[in-house]
Structure 1
């Protein structure tokens, strides 16, 4: 029996050694082939390549490598060829002249959970079906007319947010506290309900909502697992082992989130069956998805309940997490810079007056507020590494030979700190945008928090409205203070990276209700 055990162990060890040797040989050959035609980058280790170079804060570590190797970086992440773009000039070259060649997606293993990527607009493979689905989402949810029609829904959600903040602060003081509130929590509730009203014509979250909080928790976990560096993405032969447990955790939390959304979808399907052909005056996004009958050319069939669930879930991921994190970072920066907070407050008071609420139609009349949001997106892009692309063909990019299936990462966080594009790039200075006509619609490549080209985030017009209105409402409704334990200029700015970039320690501050003066 001992002999059998020894033989089995020896055989297993021999196979592992042989596999390791093959990997080393393969890696060595890959390093020697056309190395001079690749962008510069650090020399990697056998098998694992440059996996240690990206660390747990990849956007920051890649930015540091830019200082040594330049704005276009080449890495070997395990067996995955990777090109990193980290300057406005390099991004312009990518999106203007190579957008189609690099238009496919490199999908993290975690996001194949429950076949999520197969129904996703953000992570779907480039092709006819993806184009039709993206066009449908844009036309039914994000076109200007539809966004205009839903302004009152967003106003309601933001009014609820300020009410909940006031109530929570009062409850804190009643318990003997300072009245401090977790701003990030209420921002997420607001953004979540904005998406809920557009998708499903209903609020889904409020401070005492049981199911809403389960959805909230599951979504946070999905965003965390989806953005966590995973060794199985770099060494695909390890996917079946799931050595870091990321796929297992994602299966659990993605399943929780999909179960809740699937329930909403089934409820709507049943309502439609009972209502028959009865005319509905106001249709939401779910109606549009479920009523889609194909493009008339047999290219994309009717959308299944499962794919409808994935599409709606993705809109929640994209719309709530990115919006709430951007407003939180804006508030952090304004609390750190009292002079900037004063300028925003004075502008709102001057333009809007003492007895009116800020409305979406006022945004263009508040240039300093707009500048604050742009500066926040420059320093704290919601998705610091734009969702990874995949080269669909061999390409010559800026004189470099980039092979098919190369992963392409655009470091928007680094581009926002590009010294060739920005003076004093590490400082928060909204004034820089008052004299420059720079937008984040994908054409000014020094500011691309929503991406550019065919894969630009289709929801940026909606995000533009929600972020400005929410931030202005927080400033108009309350005077904000930080607790005695915090000094504004040295607030903790540590980041937490998932799919999106959040503050590691959620922002807490003390709101003091402002007294508005009514006109006679």
Structure 2
């Protein structure tokens, strides 16, 4: 996507002549489909993807965010997409993201849930916690992060290679169904035609629904077993409840019984939904770790600066604490650079509009699906200098953070619909 990495380069001339039969056929398909699926009145400029869906393998074998990036370079930072009868728009600029996600936050606050996520998370039975409730996880979070750091330290002392994703499973609760989760990650990382074109939902063309249901029942039995086992353990150590919390599950079971906040009303289904969200988030966390380590290996100078800063602030006799982070500006810049270069979710979870509105003179109807291409925003040379190079220095002295306040960098989204794991994920990535 404009980078000399795995992304496809931008075409030097957007008005490429169609010189062969295949190109001519695609042109005809696009014209015919465009007649069938007309845009709504005063819609943003755009293209008809129905021509591409007539050849589904083409759509499924390409990285969707890259194709959308190329389209946006032709049509601008706000464009309409014709996939089926449901209206869709794509956002690909910080300015346009601010106009929609912040200035009209209420209108763009509904979320469209992918079919696989809806099944695995018990129809999104998880809950969103306040900052106060997150504090309940503090001691357990610190314990788990320190455990992860010890694993990394011991492996480095023994000169062993480390598979970060496997350590992520240890930090997430010593999961015994690793292969099941990897199969789940593979499905979640696939382009599901049903999510793009809902009219295909009854047919399950790729067989993903059948596979995800099998995984759901395996995980259902797993969650039931660990909850039952933990409840039995708690009966044995009843006198120590509240003093010895082993992990997130202990916190949830503990606090729902004696707190007068949102934790108090947690049901068994809510707890399973939270466990499912935590485990499905393991892949994005581990991939961020791995990209971070890869970028450090590619940039020896950046690695030396990080080590020097850690030696000066933390020393070599203890682990990094959360209180140290504010005194580690270069490390913070390096973490932001990883989120910027390699966002775990290149296309944010789709949103939909609660009501009709106007954006930059264009009409956006109620129920419109909204896609935000954060990776494309990071590759825009009009916003970033050297958008394909890893340069942590670009964030030194900058007020830009990853919390969704500055729209130049929103790997976790923005506003009420940002990633619920943001407080925990950001801390863990910085520690590691």
Quick check: TM above 0.5?
yes
Give the 5 Å matches for 1:93-492. 93-113=99-119, 116-121=121-126, 133-135=127-129, 139-140=132-133, 142-143=134-135, 146-147=137-138, 150-164=141-155, 166-167=157-158, 169=160, 181=161, 183=162, 185=163, 187-196=164-173, 204=174, 211=176, 215-271=177-233, 280-282=242-244, 285-287=248-250, 289-290=252-253, 292=256, 302-318=265-281, 320-470=282-432
Query: Contact conserved, 1:440 with 1:450, CA < 8 A, in 2?
Result: yes
Supply the distance in 2 between the matched residues of 1:96 and 1:295 (Cα, whole angstroms): 33
What is the Cα deviation at residue 444 of structure 1? 0.6
- Following superposition, the deviation at residue 86 of structure 1 comes to 0.9
Q: CA deviation at 1:295?
A: 11
How high is the TM-score relative to the length of structure 2? 0.81
Note the C-alpha offset of 1:242: 0.7
Change (3 A) 1:149 1:262: closer
Which runs of 5 or more residues in structure 1 are unaligned? 1-23, 122-132, 170-180, 197-203, 206-210, 471-520
State the secondary structure of the residue aligned to 1:65: helix
Unaligned runs of 5+ in 2: 1-30
Residues 166/410 of structure 1: CA separation in 2 closer, same or farther (3 Å cut): same
Q: Are the structure 2 counterparts of residues 386 and 229 from structure 1 closer, same or farther at C-alpha, using a change threshold of 3 Å? A: same
1:31 is matched with 38
SS at match of 2:388: coil
Deviation per CA, 1:41-91, whole angstroms, max 9, x where unpaired?
A: 123436948975686211122112221111112112234322111111011
Counterparts of 2:290 and 2:186, CA distance in 1: 18
Note the C-alpha offset of 1:464. Answer: 2.1
The CA deviation at 1:275 is 7.1
CA deviations on 1:434-465 (whole Å, 9 max, x unpaired) are 13221111111001111110011232222222
| Aligned equivalents of 1:103, 1:49: Cα separation in 2 | 32
Aligned CA distance change for structure 1 residues 435 and 119 (closer, same or farther; 3 Å):
closer
Distance in 2 of aligned mates of 1:77 and 1:55 = 17
Q: Which has more radius of gyration?
A: 1
Equivalent of 2:94 in 88, 97, 117: 88
Contact 1:161 1:189 in 2 (8 A): no
* SS at structure 1 position matched to 2:152: helix
In structure 1, distance between residues paired with 2:159 and 2:181: 23
Three-state SS of the structure 2 residue aligned to 1:80 is: coil
SS of the residue 2:283 aligns to = helix
Would the alpha carbon gap of residues 158 and 50 (structure 1) be closer, same or farther in structure 2, given more than 3 Å must change?
same
The Cα shift of 1:404 comes to 1.9
Q: How many residues align?
A: 399
Counterparts of 1:395 and 1:25, CA distance in 2 = 29
Q: Find the aligned partners of 1:417 and 1:377 in 2 and give their Cα distance.
A: 13
User: Which deviations, in whole Å up to 9, do the C-alpha atoms of 1:355-406 show, x marking residues without a partner?
Assistant: 4443333222221111111111111011111111122222222222112222
For the 8 Å contact 2:39–2:82, the answer to whether it is kept is no
Could you say which residue in structure 2 is the equivalent of 1:515?
A: none
Deviation at 1:274, TM superposition (A): 7.0
Quote the offset at 1:293 in angstroms.
Answer: 7.2
- Contact 2:137-2:248 at 8 Å conserved across structures: no
The separation in 2 between residues aligned to 1:93 and 1:303, in whole angstroms, is 36
Instruction: Give the equivalent residue in structure 1 for 2:14.
Output: none
Deviation (angstroms), 1:266: 2.2
Conserved 8 A contact 1:389-1:407: yes
Distance 1:400 1:286 in 2: 47
**Does structure 2 conserve the Cα–Cα contact (< 8 Å) formed by 1:28 and 1:46?**
no
Q: TM-score, normalised on structure 1? A: 0.68
Distance 1:339 1:26, change over 3 A: closer
CA contact (8 A) 1:50 1:75 kept: no
